[in-house]
Amino acid sequence: MVTTILSWALTYALHSTILIGSIWLLCRAIPRLSLAMQESLWKLALVGAIATASLQQGAGLAPPWGHLGLPAALQVDAPTKAAAASTATAQPVAVHHRAGELTIVATRQGAPAAASVAAAPAPDRSAWPYVLLSAMVAGALFGLVRVVVAAVRLRKQLAGRRDVIEDPLLESWLALCAKAELPKRVRLSASPSLSSPVALARREVCIPERAIEGLTPQQQESMLAHELAHVVRRDAWWLHASALIEALLFFQPLNHLARRKLEEVSEYQCDDWAARRTGTGVHLAKCLAEVAAWVDREPAGGVAAPAMASVRSPIVRRIRRLLDLDPNRVREAETRPAWRAGAGLALLGGVAWLAPGVEPRAEAATRTANASAAPARIEVEDVDDRGGHDRARVRIVGGDETVEVHVAAPRNPPPPAPPVPAPPAREPSGDVSIIIQGGWMFEGWPLFGPGHGYIGIDIDGLGTLEALLEDDPFEASIERLELELERDAELLEASIERELEARERAAERAEEAYEQWREAEDARREAEDARREAEDARASWGRATSGGFGPAAREAAPAAEPLVSL
């Protein structure tokens, strides 16, 4: 639980930094971005990172480049699934395999998970996660106390307020409420302890007592219109939410920037709303200048209710903007809500998908326990037969280890071949004789040289041998062999004929190519002769035109010019 909270907090810090920084750069890069779009973006900057961090942690989303690992010093070893099932025993796994006459039965019986977990040494627990979590809780409590104290101080200041019944202030207030078409009545009160008007979350506007007598009717109307805009837009609720987010998630200092920007944009929006309802922004600018003189310090309700003027409010920019503002050209909705919703969802989706998160790193003991608790896988396969044996391989894969067992069994030998019958006995005959002789060649043999031996075989009585073979049982085999040799000879002859035909066709193609080459060579020679003749003619024409020849040659030069050009 502690590790999960720390991972979420770090993921939120990373996502909120990316989100707030992107929105700040976008608003700076596009100065003409509408106020409605800016307000939506800054609201998204406050609450968007909470959604993206929770989505990544809850749904297990991972960016393409992975997550960042939580430092080991900030992790707390939680009981694993294997430890939770310490009394459970894995069911036995059996695999049957048959290879020839060999039958293999592989069985795995899982050991209790508690035994494997207990065998691993218990890692040292770090105190840093609890220290960091305690600091986060203390900071959040301190921020909540500040918010509660500010709310209590505002409540004390408003304890003596009264309903405003003076005219024409009340009449202007009722007319503005009628123009706004509010479904419920909004209360208007006055308090002597306030220095600036405030809009409360419970549909109430409280003004200082000095505003009743110290402002002109036009300034009072502009002031009431500005505060009524806060009520219509529910800015008080957003102020409360931003204050709580800033207090609870205090470890992200950029939340203060987002809250300040949201307040600034909301003030601009309310100024425009008041200028449209009153017809001009001049009186509201004068009212702001007057109220700013009353505010000499931060009002007590600064974090509990939106004030019209405070030390945080950009008074000078607001006054200049109101003086240059044309109420007739200010539109109610500068950007369609659908566009704002689409841009916000696209931005949130991009951060949730692309921004990396922080996830805990698995400890060695946890990995060992999970590996021991994971079911093993038994694989059986046949092996190539060698040496007349049935062979098989059994592979047991479990966790980080793999065990292989090779099993072999002798195969039954094949039955012996039937004995070959002995040839029939024959009467011995002395008519056939085989003489084998050997010796050495005489010295000086021109091819082999001296010292080479030889061997010779002479057979006497071949006629008698042929007569003996006429009735031999192998005669049919010899005839089949002769037929096969004749058939092979025919096939070989046909193959040779096909090869000869192919070579003849190739020779014909080569001869045709040679003739074409000869023709091309003759054409090239003729072109070369023509070129030389043209060069001789050009030289002759040059000499004729340069005065190297007599008048007759110069007269003939124009006639030779076409030939030279050719």
Average pLDDT estimate for 79-97: 50
| Alpha-carbon span 266 to 264, nearest angstrom | 5
| Alpha-carbon span 495 to 498, nearest angstrom | 5
How many other CB atoms are found less than 10 A from the CB of residue 357?
24
Q: For the chain, first and last CA: distance in Å?
A: 101
The share of the chain scoring above pLDDT 70, in percent, equals: 65
Work out the pLDDT band at 404, boundaries 50, 70, 90.
Answer: confident
Please tell me the predicted confidence (pLDDT) of residue 551: 55
Domain boundaries, the chain: 87-114+374-414, 156-312, 477-565
| Alpha-carbon span 538 to 367, nearest angstrom | 97
Average pLDDT estimate for 463-482: 63
SS3 assignment, position 149: helix
Q: Among 96-100, 138-142, 375-379, 532-536, whose mean pLDDT is lowest? A: 96-100
Please determine, for residue 79, whether its predicted confidence score (pLDDT) is greater than 50.
no
The C-alpha angle 461, 462, 463, rounded to 5 degrees, equals: 90
Of residues 375 and 403, which shows the higher confidence score?
403
CB of 190 closer than 8 Å to CB of 206: yes
| Alpha-carbon span 320 to 314, nearest angstrom | 10
CB of 21 closer than 8 Å to CB of 253: no
Please tell me the predicted confidence (pLDDT) of residue 318: 86
Please tell me the predicted confidence (pLDDT) of residue 24: 93
Please tell me the predicted confidence (pLDDT) of residue 509: 92
389-398 sheet: strands from edge to edge: 377-382, 389-398, 401-410
Residue of 212, 223, 210 lying closest to 288 (CA atoms): 223
Q: What's the chain's average pLDDT?
A: 76
Q: What is the DSSP letter of 329?
A: G
Residue of 1, 284, 301, 19 lying closest to 147 (CA atoms): 301
SS3 assignment, position 104: strand
SS3 assignment, position 81: helix
Query: pLDDT tens digit string along 117-129?
Result: 444 444 556 777 7
Work out the pLDDT band at 148, boundaries 50, 70, 90.
Answer: very high
DSSP per-residue codes, 408-448: EEEPPPPPPPPPPPPPPP----SS-EEEEEEEEPPTT-TTT
| Alpha-carbon span 466 to 470, nearest angstrom | 6
Please state, in angstroms and as integers, the Cα–Cα distance from residue 394 to each residue in 110, 267, 278, 315, 377, following that order.
Answer: 18, 77, 90, 83, 11
| Alpha-carbon span 45 to 12, nearest angstrom | 12
Query: pLDDT tens digit string along 160-211?
Result: 889 988 888 899 899 999 888 888 889 999 998 888 899 998 889 999 998 8
How many other CB atoms are found less than 10 A from the CB of residue 113?
23
**Torsion angle, alpha carbons of 162, 168, 174, 177, to 10:** -100
Tokens of 236: 């008080």
What is the residue whose two structure tokens read 């301190």? 142
Please tell me the predicted confidence (pLDDT) of residue 84: 44
Please tell me the predicted confidence (pLDDT) of residue 180: 85
Query: pLDDT tens digit string along 267-301?
Result: 999 999 998 888 888 988 999 888 888 876 544 44
Average pLDDT estimate for 320-332: 73
Phi-psi region of 204 (alpha: psi -120 to 50; beta: other; left: phi over 0): beta
Please determine, for residue 77, whether its predicted confidence score (pLDDT) is greater than 60.
no
| Alpha-carbon span 226 to 267, nearest angstrom | 8
Q: Among 62-71, 181-190, 244-253, 540-549, whose mean pLDDT is lowest? A: 540-549
Tokens of 517: 């080459």
How many other CB atoms are found less than 10 A from the CB of residue 182?
14
Tokens of 273: 């709303």
- Bond preceding residue 168 cis, omega within 30 of 0: yes
Please determine, for residue 428, whether its predicted confidence score (pLDDT) is greater than 60.
no
* pTM score, whole prediction: 0.55
DSSP per-residue codes, 235-294: HHHHHHHHHHHHHHTTT-THHHHHHHHHHHHHHHHHHHHHHHHHS-SHHHHHHHHHHHHH
| Alpha-carbon span 475 to 491, nearest angstrom | 24
Please state, in angstroms and as integers, the Cα–Cα distance from residue 298 to each residue in 98, 154, 261, 294, 357, following that order.
Answer: 88, 12, 18, 11, 38
Please tell me the predicted confidence (pLDDT) of residue 247: 92
Please determine, for residue 18, whether its predicted confidence score (pLDDT) is greater than 50.
yes
Of residues 60 and 331, which shows the higher confidence score?
60
Task: Tell me how long the chain is.
Answer: 566
Please tell me the predicted confidence (pLDDT) of residue 523: 92
CB of 375 closer than 8 Å to CB of 396: no
Beta-strand ranges (E) seen in 327-376 are: 358-359
Of residues 230 and 404, which shows the higher confidence score?
230
| Alpha-carbon span 224 to 174, nearest angstrom | 10
Please tell me the predicted confidence (pLDDT) of residue 463: 58
Average pLDDT estimate for 450-459: 56
Give Cβ neighbours of residue 133 (< 8 Å, ≥ 6 apart).
2, 5, 6
